[in-house]
């Protein structure tokens, strides 16, 4: 039995004053309206309406039940309107996960742009160096940096791509010399940034000689956040592979030098992942659309600025 539907029929019968009038309003049959009320009475084991051949009248129990039906169905209508509005108008809380350094440099500014457009959305951003469990942790969208994504059943959109560059401090290079090829790194102190994406003991390069993988062995220092790795490199502790967004400030100030500028390293894709494409909430749809439109251009600006440091 569809209790909510039978409640609606019961209310219409009372409003119309007859089963026939209610059936006409609901575009159904008189027999259907009569059966819906009878089913309610059987379910409740209480008479709601007294019936004669000419008229109907509410019983005392029916009057109390009618009031409750009006309250309950008003809440149901409100809930349906809110849920339907979520598909059309961005509002409520948007829960986002992103990798720490990437999120600081790109996602936080994107949140600012997004909330200028959609001020009714409150954004809850979590930054962490791990792959989240989207369903168990309740995230609406996760921004993931990876070469490829495993088959998870989630919806994913590739937004853009990123890569890292090899950097060192001027003082380190003065003491230890400048490597000319990736193979020369075997004779240097190579600091490792450990992430869920790449093996800790290998650096991958793409350059004039194609793809190269350099096995580094044990690292003198490793860390899991790009900003911390950049500090270690600036301090002269060794050579590090840094994402462009973590290296660009040091390159501007001269605290970092881009070495092996003809090589790109640790290439990866940037994905937006969310649980389902069906009945997509408006705040998720508009957030992903903003990232798809703005993020590639923002990252391309950093890559364009990087070129000037390869010429010095």
Give the span between the Cα atoms of 97 and 134, in whole angstroms.
9
From 153, 123, 157, select the one nearest 143 (Cα to Cα). Answer: 157
Residues spanned by the domain of 243? 161-267
CATH number of the domain at 136, please: 3.40.190.10
Are 61 and 154 contained in the same domain? no
Whole-prediction pTM value?
0.68
Are 177 and 211 contained in the same domain? yes
Q: Are 100 and 195 in contact (CB under 8 A)?
A: no
Three-class SS state of 13: helix
Write out pLDDT tens, residues 146-194.
887 766 678 888 999 888 899 999 999 999 999 999 999 888 999 988 8
Are 275 and 148 contained in the same domain? yes
Q: Would you give the DSSP letter of residue 213? A: E
Determine, yes or no, domain membership for 208: yes
Determine, yes or no, domain membership for 34: yes
The domain boundary residue, chosen from 24, 56, 86: 86
Are 166 and 196 contained in the same domain? yes
Are 176 and 294 contained in the same domain? no
CATH number of the domain at 175, please: 3.40.190.290
Are 257 and 192 contained in the same domain? yes
Determine, yes or no, domain membership for 287: yes
Are 167 and 246 contained in the same domain? yes
Are 232 and 151 contained in the same domain? no
Write out pLDDT tens, residues 270-306.
999 988 766 678 899 999 999 999 999 999 998 888 8
Determine, yes or no, domain membership for 312: no
Q: Are 243 and 102 in contact (CB under 8 A)?
A: yes
Q: Are 218 and 225 in contact (CB under 8 A)?
A: no
């Amino acid at each position: 039995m569809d209790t909510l539907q039978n409640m609606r029929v019961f209310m219409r019968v009372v409003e119309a004053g007859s089963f026939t009038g209610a059936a006409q309003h609901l575009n159904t049959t008189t027999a259907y309206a009569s059966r819906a009320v009878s089913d309610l009475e059987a379910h409740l084991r209480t008479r709601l309406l007294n019936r004669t051949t000419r008229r109907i009248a509410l019983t005392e129990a029916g009057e109390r039940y009618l009031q409750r039906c009006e309250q309950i169905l008003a809440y149901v209508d409100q809930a349906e309107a809110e849920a339907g509005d979520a598909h059309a108008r961005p509002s409520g809380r948007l829960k986002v996960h992103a990798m720490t350094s990437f999120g600081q440099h790109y996602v936080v500014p994107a949140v600012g742009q997004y909330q200028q457009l959609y001020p009714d959305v409150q954004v809850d951003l979590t930054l962490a160096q791990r792959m989240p469990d989207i369903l168990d942790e309740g995230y609406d969208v996760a921004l993931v940096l990876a070469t490829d994504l495993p088959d998870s059943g989630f919806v994913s959109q590739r937004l853009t791509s990123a890569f890292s560059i090899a950097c060192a401090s001027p003082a380190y290079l003065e003491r230890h010399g400048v490597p000319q090829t990736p193979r020369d790194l075997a004779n240097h102190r190579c600091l490792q940034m450990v992430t869920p994406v790449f093996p800790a003991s290998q650096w991958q390069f793409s350059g004039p000689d194609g793809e190269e993988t350099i096995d580094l062995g044990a690292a003198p220092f490793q860390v899991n956040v790009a900003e911390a790795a950049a500090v270690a490199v600036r301090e002269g502790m060794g050579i590090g592979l840094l994402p462009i967004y973590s290296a660009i400030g040091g390159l501007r100030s001269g605290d970092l030098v881009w070495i092996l500028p003809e090589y790109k390293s640790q290439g990866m894709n940037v994905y937006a992942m969310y649980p389902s494409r069906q009945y997509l909430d408006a705040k998720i749809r508009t957030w992903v659309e903003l990232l798809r439109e703005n993020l590639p251009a923002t990252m391309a600006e950093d890559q364009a600025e990087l070129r000037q440091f390869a010429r010095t």
